[in-house]
Structure 1
Amino acid sequence: MAWRDAKASKVRLLLFMASIILGIAAVVSIQLFSTNLKDNIQRQSKSLMGADFIIDSRQVPTERAQAIIDSLQPDASEVNFVSMVAFPKNGGTKLVQVRGLEGDFPFYGTIDTQPSDVATSYQTSGGALVDATLMLQFDVQPGDSIKIGELTLPIAGALISIPGSSAISSSVAPPVIIPYRFIAETDLLQFGSRKEYQYFYKVSDTLNITRLQDQLEPLLDLENADLDTHLSTTKRLGQRYENVGKFLNLAAFIALLLGCIGIASSVHIYIKEKLRAIAVLKCMGASRLQSFLIFLIQIAGIGIVGGLIGSLIGVGLQELFPYLLKDFLPFALEITITAQPIIIGVLLGLFMSVLFALLPLLRTWYVSPLDVLRVDEKASQEPQSIRFLVFGAILVFLFLFSLWLIKDALYALVFVVATVITFAVLAGVALAFIKTIKRFFPKHWSFTARQSLLNLFRPNNQTVVLVVAIGLGTFLISTLYFTKDILLAKTEVGQSSENANIIILDVQREQRDLVAQSIISSGLPVLNSIPLVTMRMHSINGILVNELRQDSTRQVRGWILNHEFRTTYRDELTPSEELLEGEWIPRLTADDPVVISISDNLASDAKLSVGDPVTFNVQGVLMETTVGSIRQVDWAQMQLNFTIVFPAGVLEQAPQFNVFTTTVPDEASSAALQRNLVSKFPNVTIIDLRQVYTLVEDILDQVSWVINFMAFFSILTGIIVLIGSVRTSKYQRIKESVLLRTLGAKNTQILKISAFEYVFLGLLGSLIGILLALVSSLCLALFVFKEPFIPSLIPFVVFVPGITVLVVAIGLSNIQTVLRSSPLEVLRREG
């Protein structure tokens, strides 16, 4: 009976199935991608690092640290730093990461170069490996020269990839590799230079590097050094991409939820039309269980077949993710197919189809044989307790499934609550709209307009379902657009003369006047000349930092104990700062106690308050200070901000270097300034914030592309639900339209009635969705990003009319049969 009835209703059942297929395809493709990502990270962890473990230090290793490093006998070593380089061939300059290598690094993976043989010969030939993209940008070839500080080397070949570099970091500062023995000749490692020393080790498989890390890390921490293993790299990478996976999983889950809502609503109308037939079956002796199972088998079949088709589509779709995320992955992703996500997809299709269709299915259980004689629209209802039980089961399932996806009970609960609130708001607005129309019905409108409004609350109306489906899809995609605008606003670099877009670092004291003169002679302003003094904390609240390092119960965050702070001194606050506590002291005299100002995040992590003592080690000289004020710093602004600021009159005689800022009107001026400064002062580092902004914008565009790709599943599922919901009520519409035709209505009147109804539904759903998106985006802007919110016009201009037109087109396609045929012919066919 289930098979025969399904064949007679195959069009409607296929639409139900389409809702499930898209949601399952999204979930399976992302699950397979996440599985592949984890397997690849574990399998390629050594190749990503290039070694079994690394010891690194941000300064020349101390005597004790060097003793530990030497005792383990490093197989290769490196010093790396960021600097400007110049190409004498054309005068071009660029900020790069210089890596001085010694030894046979990497031990796993390869240095990919062009030509390939220079990856091993550059050490003996004494050449430089230059990033391939950088060579294309400045039109240089192997054999040309590159100037690094005071050193000029021939370019041995183009560097395509090397373990330890990511595509994003290489975009900011492309790598240039030179032999370690030439580092001293560059004369770039001067006072204040940021540098990193790394020692690479290759060990046998029998050595337990986890135990080695546990033994050595506390000793190295005391010496401001660190030990990193390929296993910890695997864990760190896994956590980084796990957050991306969680977001994509939730996007897919929303698409699946939309499909389930489509099934629930469509089955509701489908069963409602079958109640008279079920009552006849019960008159003929069919039991409750038999009538229930007829339709349960149909829905279960839809779930299994839909889950299987969706899983197969998901297998094909997951091949796209390596392409979409290639700029975020530091390795080539190898795709393998596992059975687990496919099995999960089939079971998920079965379970969610039955669960979300259970409430309308229960109507078949409570149909009375007497209903065959009733002519009103009211059918037997299931008890309230059964209804609440089904709703409870759905919520429990949503929570458990969310918990399985994001592995956090609180986030899963928040997600479920937010989902319920969104659905409730959409459904509540739809119901309120219906009641408002009933109460304030425009009796003086034209017949077609009144009839279209009456259709919104007629029996078998789809107002609530369509408003929820349209509104949720619009809400999702609009939120994505608004959020993207917020993120881009946070990275925006102003081009006015008041905002710096060039930062010049590592200017030595004796170079300050000459650098300032060079900037001014180029016709550019010197916006800031900021002195920097490096120091470390010696004691906090009277407790030595060395004691805090060994205290396992300490509340002070670990980064503070090993951090080399770059501080400054000035007599005023900057626009990115706001005083929270204490008093701002602009200047001190020689005999005054030293009072400093710290940022709120440092105060929180170091457990410091106004009045607490802090002793600093300023390049070997101890300086006692007291916290005088705490500032809130807007770190999102692209300008130099500091965690520790001294008053004027304290650090002027300390060893220091300077940072200059200026603004350039265009790319040509920036290039000219960089060439001029690098030729005169090879040690300075120049950051063009316009390039950084372009890079960030490109990354955000790629991220938003991935997000929009996933949102496409939700929108497409919403459209399928929309089509299914509208098409489900086709037969009811046909009868009403035929009656109108019989009473003398013209085709144009019937078209207008249907068009007006769907215009109301499309406008209502899309407008509610955009309003919800505005509220959620405003909350994100205020409480998460802490940015002013200026909404995009795209959702208002594109989504509202676009979705409304789509709804109208689907709705009008339902009545083509009526318009093309005579009323008697249609009634006979439908009968």
Structure 2
Amino acid sequence: MAWRDAKASKVRLLLFMASIILGIAAVVSIQLFSTNLKDNIQRQSKALMGADFKIDSKQIPTERAQAIIDSLQPGAYEVNFVSMVVFPKNGGTKLVKVQGLDGNFPFYGDIDTQPTAAAETYQKSGGALVDATLMLQFDMHPGDSIKIGELTIPIAGALKAIPGSTAISTSVAPPVIIPYRYIKATNLLQFGSRKEYQYYYKVQDTVNLKRLQDLLEPELELENADLDTHTSTTNRLGRRYDNVGKFLNLAAFIALLLGCIGIASSVHIYIKEKLKAIAVLKCMGASRLQSFLIFLIQIGGIGIVGGLIGSLIGIGIQELFPYLLKEFLPFDLKITISAQPLIIGVLLGLFMSVLFALLPLLRTWYVSPLDVLRVDENSSQEPPSIRLLVFGAILVFLFLFSFWLIKDATYALAFVAGTMITFAVLALVAMFFAKMVKRFFPKHWSFTARQSLLNLFRPNNQTVVLVVAIGLGTFLISTLYFTKDILLAKAEIGQTSENANIIILDIQPKQRDSVAKSITNKGFPVLKNIPLVTMRMHNINGTSVNELRKDTTHQIRRWILNHEFRTTYRDSLALSEEILEGTWTPEVKQGEPVFISISDNLARDAKLSVGDPVVFNIQGVLMETTVGSIREVDWAQMQLNFSVVFPKGVLEQAPQFNVFTSNIPDEKGSALMQRDLVAQFPNVTIIDLRQVSTLIEDILDQVSWVINFMAFFSIFTGIIVLIGSVRTSKYQRIKESVLLRTLGAKNNQILKISALEYVFLGLLGSLVGIVLALVSSLCLAIFVFKEPFVPSLIPFVVFLPGITILVLAIGLSNIQTVLRSSPLEVLRRES
């Protein structure tokens, strides 16, 4: 009976199946991708670092640290720093990451260059390996020269990849590798220069790496150095991509939920139409169990077949993920297929389709034989206790499944609660709208308008289901666009003359006047001259930093104890700052207590309050200070912000270097000034904020492309649900339309009735979805990004009319049979 009935209703059942196929495809493809990603990270863990372990230090290693480094016998070492380079061939300048390498690095993996031999010969030949994209940008070729500080050397080859780098990280500061012996000749490592020393090791016994790390890390931390193994690095990398995977999983889960809503709504209408047939079967002797199993077998079959098809589609889709995420991955991802996600996909299709169809299916159990004669919409209702039990089972399953995806009970509970709230809001709005139409029904409107409004609240209406399906899809994609605008607004740089768009770093005291004169001679202003003084914390609240490093019970964050702070002194607050506690001290005189201002994140991580003492080590000189105020700092603004600010009158005589800011209205002027400054002062570093902004926008575009790709699953599933729901209502609407034609209604009247109904549904669903997206994005802007919210117009001008037109098109396609045929012919065909 299940097979016979399914053959007679194959079109509707195929639409049920389509509702869940995309959700399963999304979950399976992402599960396969996550499994492959973890396997690749584990398999390539050594190649990601290029060594078994490394020791790094942000300064020249201390005597004790150097003794530990030497005792372990490093196989390779490097110093890296950010600097400007010049291409003498065309005068081009660029901010790069210079890596001075010595030794046979990497021990695992390869340096990928063009020509290939350059990776092996650059050390002996004394050439540089320059980022391949950078060479294309400046039209450079092997054999051309590159000027790094005061050193000019030939380019040995184009650097395509090196262990541990990604396309995103190298786009910020492209790598340039030179032999370590040439670093001194660059004359770039001067006072205040930001640099990092790294020592690489290859060992035979990798089993005891964790024990070595536990033994040496505390000692190295005392010397402001750090030991990192390939396993800990890959664990961090795995956790980073776990977060990406969790987001993608949740996006797939939302698509799956939409499919389940489609199943539930479609089965609800389907079973409703079968109630009389089930009553007839019971009159002929069929038991409750038999009538229930007929339709349970149908839905279970849909779930299994849909899960299988979705799993097969998911296998194909996961091949796209390495392409989508290649910019963010530090290795080439090799795809393999495992059985687990496929089994999960089939079981998920079966379980979720049956679970979400269970409520309408239970009506078959409670159908009475007398329902053959009854014409009561509320007959054959399952008891409230059974309904609550099914709802409870659905919620428990949603929680357990989301917990399995994101491995965090709190987040899983929040996600399920958020999903339920969104569904509830959409459903309540739909029901409220239907009640308002019924209560304030416009009796004086035209016949076609009244008839279309009646369809929104009379029996077999699809108002709630369609509004939920349309609204949720619109909500997801609109939130994406609104959030993207918030992120881009944070990176936006004003182009007024008061705003700096050029930052010049590492200006030595003897260069200040010359650099300032070089800038002003070209007609550009020096907007700010910011002094920078480097220091470390020596004593926090009466306890020395060395004691705190040994004490494992303190609450102070580890970075505070090892960090080299770059501080400044001034007599006023910056535009990006606001006093939260205490009083700002603009200036102190000699002999007076020194009241400093610290950022709120530093106060939180160092457990400092207003009035607490802090002793700083400034190039060997200890200075006692007191926390005078705590500031809120907007770190997102593209300008120099500081964790610690001193008042004037304290640090003027301390060893320091300077940062200038300027505003150059066009890119040509910026390029000329950068070229001249780097030629005169090779040690200075110049950051063009317009280029940084463009880079951030490019990164956000790539991220949003990935998110858009995932949102596609939800939107397309929503469309399938929409088609299924609207097409399911076709069978009820056909009979009504035939009756209207029999009573004398014309084709254009029937067309208008259907058109207005679906226009109302499309407008309501998409409008509610956009409004919900506005509310959620506003909350994100205020509580997460702390930015003003300026919504995008795209959801209003594209999604609102677009989805309404789509709903209208699907709805009108339903009644083409009625319009083309005679009423008697249609009734015979439907029966």
Residue number in structure 1 paired with 2:272: 272
Map residues 157-556 of structure 1 onto 2, 5 A cutoff.
Answer: 157-205=157-205, 207-556=207-556
**Aligned residue number for residue 727 of structure 2:** 727
Q: Which residue of 2 aligns with 1:94?
A: 94
Q: Distance in 1 between matches of 2:768 and 2:698?
A: 32
Distance in 2, Cα, partners of 1:489 & 1:343:
44
- Which string of whole-angstrom CA distances, capped at 9 and with x for unpartnered residues, describes residues 683-729 of structure 1? 00111111111111001001111111111111111111111111111
2:7 matched residue in structure 1: 7
Aligned twin of 1:763: 763
Q: Equivalent residue of 2:428, what SS? A: helix
Q: Which whole-Å deviations, capped at 9, do the CAs of 1:107-155 have from their partners, x for residues lacking one?
A: 0011111111111111111111111111111112111111111111111
* Distance (whole Å) between structure 2 residues aligned to residue 512 and residue 369 of structure 1: 97
Q: 1:166-201 CA distances to partner (integer Å, 9 max, x unpaired)?
A: 221211111111111111111110000000000000
CA contact (8 A) 2:20 2:256 kept: yes
Partner of 2:615: 615
Aligned partner letter, 2:626: T
SS of residue paired to 1:269: helix
CA distance in 2, matches of 1:731, 1:82: 69
What is the alpha-carbon distance in structure 1 between the residues aligned to residue 722 and residue 142 of structure 2? Answer: 60
Structure 2: distance between partners of 1:729 and 1:609: 65
Give 1:791 deviation, angstroms.
0.5
Aligned: 1:817 with 2:817? yes
Deviations 1:33-88 (A, max 9, x none): 11111111111111111000000000000010001001100001101111111111
Contact 2:21 2:307 survives alignment (8 Å)? yes
Given the alignment of the two structures, is residue 697 of structure 1 paired with residue 697 of structure 2, yes or no? yes
Contact 2:529 2:659 in 1 (8 A): yes
Question: Are the counterparts in 1 of residues 55 and 200 from structure 2 also a CA contact under 8 Å?
Answer: yes
TM-score for the superposition, normalised by structure 2: 0.99
Structure 1 match to 2:672? 672
Amino acid at match of 1:632: E
Quick one: distance in 2 between partners of 1:584 and 1:628?
Answer: 7
Q: How does 1:68-83 map to 2 (within 5 A)?
A: 68-83=68-83
Q: Which amino acid in 1 is paired with 2:355?
A: L
| Mean CA deviation greater in 300-309 or 451-460 | 451-460
Q: 1:39 maps to what in 2?
A: 39
The count of corresponding residues between Structure 1 and Structure 2 is 831
Decide whether the 8 Å contact of 2:23 with 2:257 is kept in 1.
Answer: yes
**Matched residue, 1:651:** 651
CA distance in 2, matches of 1:207, 1:39: 20
- Distance in 2 between residues matched to 1:169 and 1:354, nearest whole Å: 47
Listed one character per residue, the Cα deviations across residues 354-378 of structure 1 (whole Å, up to 9, x for unaligned) are 0000000000000011111113333
Which secondary structure state, in structure 1, belongs to the residue aligned with residue 455 of structure 2? Answer: helix
**Offset from partner CA, 1:189-214 (integer Å, 9 cap, x none):** 00000000000000014551111001
SS in structure 2 of the partner of residue 197 of structure 1: strand
Structure 2: distance between partners of 1:274 and 1:551:
73
Counterpart CA distance in 1 for 2:554 and 2:714 is 47
Q: State the distance in 2 between where 1:299 and 1:205 align.
A: 57
2:50 aligns to what? 50
Name the SS of the counterpart of 1:574 in structure 2.
coil
Is 2:490–2:787's contact at 8 Å kept on the other side of the alignment? yes
Q: RMSD between aligned alpha carbons?
A: 0.7
CA distance in structure 1 between the aligned counterparts of 2:191 and 2:562, rounded to whole angstroms: 19
Partner of 2:777: 777
Question: Which residue identity lines up with residue 673 of structure 1 in the other structure?
Answer: M
Deviation at 1:483, TM superposition (A): 0.4
C-alpha distance in 2 between matches for 1:653 and 1:378? 88
What is aligned with 1:753?
753
1:610-665 per-position Cα deviation (integer Å, ceiling 9, x unaligned): 11110010000010111111111000100000000000010000000000111111
Aligned counterpart, 2:602: 602
Q: Which amino acid aligns with 2:468?
A: V
Aligned counterparts of 2:648 and 2:85: Cα–Cα separation in 1: 35
Query: How many angstroms apart in 2 are the aligned matches of 1:206 and 1:591?
Result: 57
For 1:120, the equivalent position in structure 2 comes to: 120
Q: Secondary structure at the match of 1:457?
A: coil
Separation in 1 of the partners of 2:377 and 2:419? 32
Q: What's 1:64 paired with?
A: 64
Which AA in structure 1 matches 2:127?
Answer: G
Provide the C-alpha distance between the structure 2 equivalents of 1:812 and 1:819, rounded to a whole number of angstroms.
Answer: 10
Q: TM-score, normalised by structure 1?
A: 0.99
4+ residue runs over 6 A deviation: none
1:459 is displaced (CA, Å) by 1.2
Q: CA separation in 2, counterparts of 1:647 and 1:272?
A: 77
CA-to-aligned-CA distance 1:501-529 (integer Å, 9 cap, x gap)? 11111000000011000110111110111
Letter in 2 for 1:550: K
**Alignment-derived partner of residue 566 in structure 2:** 566
What amino acid sits opposite 2:814 in the alignment?
N
Tell me what 1:803 maps to. Answer: 803
Q: Hey, what's the Cα distance between the residues in 2 that align with 1:335 and 1:830?
A: 49
Supply the distance in 2 between the matched residues of 1:719 and 1:247 (Cα, whole angstroms): 22
Q: Once the two structures are superposed, what CA deviation does each residue of 1:729-787 show, in whole Å capped at 9, x if it has no partner?
A: 11111111111101110000000000010011000101000000000000000000000
Indicate the residue corresponding to 1:660 in structure 2: 660
Q: Residue 575 of structure 2 aligns to which amino acid in structure 1?
A: P
CA contact (8 A) 2:115 2:158 kept: yes
Supply the AA of the counterpart residue of 2:692: V
The letter for the 2-side match of 1:222 is L
> Where do residues 702-717 of structure 1 align in structure 2 (5 Å cutoff)?
702-717=702-717
Report if aligned partners of 2:52, 2:206 keep a CA contact under 8 Å in 1: no
Between the aligned partners of 1:699 and 1:85, the Cα distance in structure 2 is: 24
Q: 1 CA distance for matches of 2:360 and 2:407?
A: 32
User: What is residue 792 of structure 2 aligned with on the other side?
Assistant: 792
SS in 2 for 1:456: coil
Q: Which amino acid aligns with 1:257?
A: L
Residue identity opposite 2:123 in structure 1: Q
CA distance in 2 between counterparts of 1:142 and 1:821 reads 76
One-letter amino acid of the counterpart of residue 599, structure 2: S
Q: Distance in 2 between matches of 1:558 and 1:466?
A: 53
Question: 1:471-491, CA deviations, whole angstroms, 9 ceiling, x for partnerless residues?
Answer: 111111100000000000011
2 CA distance for matches of 1:384 and 1:157?
75
Secondary structure (helix, strand or coil) at the match of 1:332 reads coil
> How far, CA to CA, are the matches of 1:407 and 1:599 in structure 2?
33
Give, in whole Å, the separation in 2 of the partners of 1:15 and 1:270: 11
1:135 is matched with which residue?
135
Counterpart CA distance in 2 for 1:206 and 1:487 is 43
**For residues 86 and 300 of structure 2, what CA distance do their matches in structure 1 show?**
68
Whether the 8 Å contact between 2:56 and 2:226 is mirrored in structure 1 is: yes
What one-letter code is carried by the residue in structure 1 that aligns with 2:510? E
**Partners of 1:674 and 1:396 in 2: CA distance:** 61
**CA distance in 2 between partners of 1:406 and 1:490 (Å):** 28
